[in-house]
Amino acid sequence: MAKNLAAMKLGKLPPRHDPRTLRLASYLAPTIQLPAVPESVWWSKAVQSWPMLGNDRYGDCAWAGPAHMEQAWAALTKKKFTPTDAMVLKDYSSTGFDPRTGTHDDGTVMLDMLNRWRNVGICGGRKIYAYVAVDPHNHDEVKLAMMLFGGLAAGVALPKTAQTQQFWQAPVHGPYWGSWQPGSWGGHMIPYMDFDLASRPTPRIRSISWGGIQELSWNWHDVYCDELYAVLGMNWASKTIKAPSGFYLDDLRADLRAVAA
C-alpha cells in the first residue's frame, strides 16, 4: 500500500551557508585521475528493509537520513547494522527535542547534524572523517561523489506536489510557483543512494525517505535540492577496509587532496 506522504513529517531547516565549509570541486584538480562514472550506481541494493526511524511522527529526517546511510554502508561492507527509532531520536535530542514528550520538535540545520556526525557520532558513536559540499547543479560532480562516497546527504525544499507524486518529477521549463514552489511543503533531508542514467523514459536518482525508496528525476533535483554534501564515513572505508567503490581511505584522501582535516 502506498504511503500517505502528506501525513509524513518534515524537519530540515533552511540551509546555513558557512564559508568555512569545504567544497568538493576545490579538491578535484585536473591532474588527479579519477575513475570513469558508470551509467548506474546502486548502493541501496544491499538493504532489504529501511526502518521509518520515527519520521512519520517527528521531524527527525536530518538524523534518520544519515542513519540510513550508515545502514547501507554496513550492509555493503558485510557488517550488518540496523538503526532504531531510539538511536535516531536520541541524536535528534541534541537539538533540544525531547523524545519522552515529543516537545521541541523544531527540525535541524544540516550543518549542525554534519558537525555532530563528525565530532560526536550518530547511532551510538558512528562517525565520519569529513564532509564536503557538492554543487547540486553540476551533474558530473554529483554522480562522481555519489559513486565514490556511497551516497550523498541531500537537503530538498519540497513542493506540495511531492505529497501526491510517487515519482518526484517537475515540469522541465516551470513554472515553479503555487504547489510547485520550492519549499511550499517544507524542508526534508534524504540520502541520495543510487542513480540510473539508463532508466527509460527518465533517468533518475534513488533516495531513501520515510522508510523506503523515493525516486526523483534529475530536473526535479535541479529545482528542489538546496544543499548537498559528500561524507567520508569511517564505516565506508578505512586504511584497512576497501570501500565498495573500490578505494581505500588513503586512496580517497589522495584523490581529493586529503580533504579530511
- The class of domain 7-255 in CATH terms is alpha beta
pLDDT at position 186 over 90: yes
Q: Residue 27: pLDDT band by 50, 70, 90 thresholds?
A: low
What are the start-end ranges of the H helices in the chain? 61-76, 85-92, 110-119, 139-149, 218-224, 249-255
Residue 253 has pLDDT above 70, yes or no: no
pLDDT value at 244 more than 80: no
Residue 247 predicted with pLDDT over 70: no
Specify the pairing of strand 204-209 against strand 128-133: unpaired
Q: Which of 210, 205, 208, 200 is nearest to 222 (CA)?
A: 205
CB atoms within 10 A of CB 112: 14
Q: 246 pLDDT exceeds 50? A: yes
pLDDT confidence tier of residue 251, bands split at 50, 70 and 90: low
User: Among 99, 87, 45, 80, which Cα is nearest to 63's?
Assistant: 87
pLDDT at 42 over 50: yes
pLDDT tens string 78-118: 888 999 999 999 999 999 999 999 999 999 999 999 999 99
Mean pLDDT (the chain, rounded): 90
More confident residue, 24 or 69: 69
Q: Encode pLDDT of 137-148 as tens digits.
A: 999 999 999 998
Res 62 pLDDT > 60: yes
Give the strand pairing for 40-42 and 186-196: antiparallel
Q: What is the pLDDT of residue 217?
A: 97
Average pLDDT (109-131) is 96
Beta pairing class for 152-158 and 128-133: unpaired
Question: What does the pLDDT read at residue 1?
Answer: 45
- pLDDT band, residue 35 (cuts 50/70/90): confident
Give me the pLDDT at residue 259, please: 38
**Could you tell me the three cell numbers for 133?**
559540499
pTM: 0.91
- Given a cut of 60, whether residue 255 has pLDDT beyond it is no
Query: Residue 258: is its pLDDT beyond 80?
Result: no
Of how many residues is the chain composed?
A: 261
Contact partners, residue 205, CB within 8 Å, separation at least 6: 192, 194, 195, 215, 216, 217, 218, 221
Strand 212-217 relative to strand 128-133: parallel, antiparallel, unpaired?
unpaired
19 by Cβ neighbours in 10 Å (0-12 / 13-18 / 19+) ranks as: exposed
What's the helix, strand, coil split of the chain in %, to 5?
30, 20, 50
The DSSP secondary structure of 93-144, one letter per residue, reads GGGT--TTT------B-HHHHHHHHHHT-BTTTB-EEEEEE--TT-HHHHHH
Picking from 85, 74, 81, the residue whose alpha carbon sits closest to that of residue 51 is 85
- d(C-alpha 14, C-alpha 86), whole Å: 25
The better pLDDT of the pair 247, 230 is held by 230
Q: How far apart are alpha carbons 22 and 189 in whole angstroms?
A: 20
